[in-house]
Amino acid sequence: MLIRKLFKFEGAHIVRNCSSHRCRENIHGHSYIVEVFITSDKLDKGYMVMDFVLLDKVKELVDSFDHTYSLWREEPEELKSFVYKYNRRVAEIPVSPSAEGYALLLLYLIDKILHDTEHKNGEGNVQLASVRVHETATGYAEAFREDLRLVDFDTHDIRFSEAIQEEWKSDEWWKQLTR
Ligand SMILES: [Zn+2]
């Protein structure tokens, strides 16, 4: 059985090295839609794969990118200092913030969050199947479980600025992820 939960965020970025000049040379933003697909081999006592309530940390994670500048760690120091100087919400990430980059990053993090989520309602083998990131109304990128092999970073390579962390209900989930 497969379930899907949708999240949204408004994000700013530059995608370096892409073919489009508009995309690679300008700070700009998109209204992102993130779809998270989860499968299980059995249903819990409530006849669900898992209760969406258990995805509260995923919501917190996606919301961390809302009204946030996603800063690729490979950017030159000059841009980094500019971004940090004039923005409070900055997510410094090890992947370029293309839709594919976000999909892979979120796949990696949400997979970890699901592993850390305690299932107490008779859930089966709950697995993250894929993460789909829509950057525009006409295009999306989707990262599947097998794409986890493309991951060449870990949680320590991801940095959420203080202003982002201040809005978290608790930072326990992030501490657990980076432990
Ligand atoms: Zn863009």
pTM above the 0.95 mark?
yes
Would strands 68-72 and 90-93 be described as parallel, antiparallel, or unpaired? Answer: parallel
> Separation of 28 CA from ligand 1 center, angstroms?
6
Mapping DSSP to helix (H, G, I), strand (E, B) and coil, where does residue 15 land? coil
Distance 23 CA to ligand 1 centre (A): 5
pLDDT of residue 65: 98
pLDDT-above-70 percentage for the chain: 100
Kindly indicate the confidence band of residue 159, based on its pLDDT and cuts at 50, 70 and 90: very high
Within a 10 A sphere around the Cβ of 97, how many other Cβ atoms? 23
Alpha-carbon span 92 to 103, nearest angstrom: 15
What CATH number is associated with residue 118?
3.30.479.10
* pLDDT at 92 (0 to 100): 98
- Structural domains counted in the chain: 1
Active site residues: 23, 67, 135
Cβ atoms of 135 and 99 closer than 8 Å: yes
Range of the domain at 150: 2-177
Rounded distance from Cα 20 to ligand 1 centre (Å):
10
* Distance, CA of 29 to CA of 32 (rounded, Å): 9
What confidence tens digit (pLDDT) does each residue in 41-82 have?
999 999 999 999 899 999 999 999 999 999 999 999 999 999
